[in-house]
Structure 1
Amino acid sequence: MEASGDPSPGTSRRGLRSEEHEGSDPREKEQAAAAGEGRRFFGCREAPVPVVLRGGGPQLSAGTFPLLFDPDGRLVRESYFRKLIFKEGGVDPSIRKDVWKFLFGMYPCSSTTRERKVLALERYVRYKMMKCRWQTLMPSSRRMRVDETDNRQKINVHELHEAIRIVDKDVPRTERVLDYYQNEGVINLLVLRDILITFAAFHPDVSYVQGMNDLVSRFLEVLDSEVDAYWCSTFYFEKISYDFKEEGLIRKIRLEEQLLKELDSQLYTHLLRDGMNGLTFCHRWLLLGFQREFEHSDAIRLFEILSSHHLELNSLEAESARHSERMTHFQRAEGKIMPELPLTNNDYTFELFICAAILLEKKELLLKCSDEVELIQFTNSLQGALNLDRVLERAEQAFFNYCNKSVLDCFKKLCTEQKKKSFFKFKLMDLFS
Structure 2
Amino acid sequence: MHRSLNPCSLYMVQVQLLRETSGVQPHKLIFEKEGVYLHTNAKRSNQDTSIPGFIRIVERAGLPALEWSPLEDDGRNAPAVLYSKKDGDGGEEDTNFDPGYEPDWAVISTVKKEREHVPVKSSGQWAFSLPLSELYSLRRSRFSLGRNFLVLTSRGGHPLPPLHFHRGGTRELLRALQRYIILDPSPLDGRLFLAYPQDSGTLPQSFDRLQFLDDGGNDLVSRFIHDPYATTFGGFSKVTNFFRAALRPPESPIHTRTPQDPSLPPQPDEEPGFELITCGVELGPKPDVTRGQPLDKWEEFLDSEGRVTCKEKIKELVFRGGITHSLRKEIWKFLLGFYPWNSTAKEREDILRVKTDEYFRMKVQWKSVSEEQEMRNSLLRGYRSLIERDVNRTDRHNTFFSGNDNPGLTLLHDVLMTYCMYNFDLGYVQGMSDLLSPILFVTQNEVESFWCLTGFMELVHQNFEESQEAMKQQLLQLSILLKALDPELCDFLDSQDSGSLCFCFRWLLIWFKREFSFEDILTLWEVLWTRLPCENFHLLIACSILESQREELIGSNHDFNTILKHINELTMKLDLQSVLRGAEAIYLQLFLCKELPVMVKQVLGLYVPPSSEEESPDSQASETQRLLSQSQEGAAASNSACGPSCS
| Residue 60 of structure 2 is aligned to residue 60 of structure 1 | no
Say yes or no: does 1:375 pair with 2:563. Answer: yes
Residue in structure 1 matching 2:577, options 382, 389, 392? 389
* Aligned-residue offset at 1:184: 7.1
Which of 1 and 2 has greater Rg? Answer: 2
Q: Which amino acid aligns with 2:586?
A: A
**Secondary structure class of the residue paired with 2:498:** coil
Q: For 1:178, what is the secondary structure of its paired residue?
A: coil
Equivalent residue for 1:355, pick from 522, 542, 553: 542
Q: Aligned equivalents of 1:270 and 1:372: distance in 2? A: 10
Which whole-Å CA distance do the structure 2 matches of 1:44 and 1:223 have between them? 43
Q: State the distance in 2 between where 1:45 and 1:295 align.
A: 33
Report the 3-state secondary structure (helix = DSSP H, G, I; strand = E; otherwise coil) of the residue aligned with 1:196: helix
The answer on whether the counterparts of 2:439 and 2:452 sit within 8 Å (CA) in structure 1 is yes
- Give 1:60's aligned amino acid: L
Higher strand share: 2
Name the structure 2 match of 1:401.
589
Deviations 1:261-304 (CA, angstroms, capped at 9, x unpaired)? 11100111222335326211112112222122222211211111
SS of the aligned residue for 2:497 comes to coil
The match for 1:283 is 505
Cα deviation 1:44-65 (Å, max 9, x = unaligned): 7554313x333xxx3110xx21
Aligned residue type for 2:303: D
Give the Å deviation of 1:396.
Answer: 1.1
Q: What is the CA-CA distance between 1:201 and the residue it aligns to? A: 2.4
State the AA in 2 paired with 1:49: D
Question: Equivalents in 2 of 1:272, 1:171: separation in Å?
Answer: 38
Whether 2:288 is the aligned partner of 1:49: answer yes
Q: Kindly indicate whether the alpha-carbon contact (under 8 Å) linking 1:272 and 1:279 is maintained by their aligned counterparts in 2.
A: no
Checking the alignment, whether the CA contact within 8 Å between 1:74 and 1:110 is kept in structure 2 is yes
- 1:380 positional shift: 2.2
SS in 2 for 1:173: coil
Find the aligned partners of 2:577 and 2:405 in 1 and give their Cα distance: 31
Shift of 1:214: 0.7
| Closer, same or farther: CA 114–377 of 1 in aligned 2, 3 Å | same
Asked if the contact 1:257–1:279 (Cα under 8 Å) also holds between the matched residues in 2, the reply is: yes
**Corresponding residue for 2:337?**
105
Structure 1 residues 28-427: aligned runs within 5 Å: 43=282, 45-50=284-289, 52-54=290-292, 58-61=293-296, 64-87=297-320, 89-141=321-373, 157-183=377-403, 186-245=406-465, 246-273=468-495, 275-276=497-498, 278-312=500-534, 349-367=536-554, 368=556, 370-407=558-595
1:335 aligns with none
Deviation at 1:354, TM superposition (A): 0.6
Contact 1:243 1:252 in 2 (8 A): no
CA change 1:138–1:366 in 2 (3 A) is farther
Tell whether the 8 Å contact from 1:296 to 1:384 is kept in structure 2 after alignment: no
Q: Hey, what's the Cα distance between the residues in 2 that align with 1:186 and 1:278?
A: 41
- Choose 354-363 or 70-79, whichever is displaced more: 70-79
Change (3 A) 1:45 1:193: closer
Distance in 1 separating the partners of 2:442 and 2:291: 24
What is the Cα-based RMSD across aligned positions, in Å?
Answer: 2.2
State the alpha-carbon separation in 1 of the partners of residues 492 and 431 from structure 2: 29
The whole-number CA distance in structure 1 between the counterparts of 2:416 and 2:560 is 32
Q: Distance between the aligned counterparts of 2:287 and 2:427, measured in 1?
A: 45
The AA in structure 2 aligned to 1:67 is E
In the aligned structure 1, how far is the partner of 2:496 from the partner of 2:370?
48
Q: Distance in 1 between matches of 2:507 and 2:597?
A: 31
- Aligned residue for 2:368, secondary structure, equals helix
Q: Which amino acid aligns with 1:79?
A: E
Relative to structure 2, which stretch is displaced further, 276-285 or 182-191?
182-191
Counterparts of 1:250 and 1:116 in 2: how far apart (Å)? Answer: 38
Instruction: Using structure 2 for the length normalisation, give the TM-score.
Output: 0.46
Cα shift at 1:159: 1.5
**Structure that is richer in helix per residue:** 1
Q: CA deviation digits over 1:158-188, x for unaligned, max 9?
A: 2221111211221111010011123477221
Farther off after superposition, 277-286 or 298-307:
277-286
The verdict on how the C-alpha distance between 1:215 and 1:375 changes in structure 2, with shifts beyond 3 A counting, is same
CA contact (8 A) 1:277 1:372 kept: no
Change (3 A) 1:44 1:309: closer
TM value normalised by structure 1? 0.68
Structure 1 runs, 4 residues or longer, greater than 6 Å off: none
Q: Distance in 1 between matches of 2:370 and 2:454?
A: 22
Change (3 A) 1:47 1:361: closer
Q: How far apart, CA to CA, are the structure 1 residues paired with 2:283 and 2:482?
A: 20
Percent of aligned positions that are identical: 30
Contact map agreement 2:307 2:344 (CA 8 A) in 1: yes
- SS of corresponding position for 1:242: helix
Between stretches 195-204 and 274-283, larger displacement belongs to 274-283
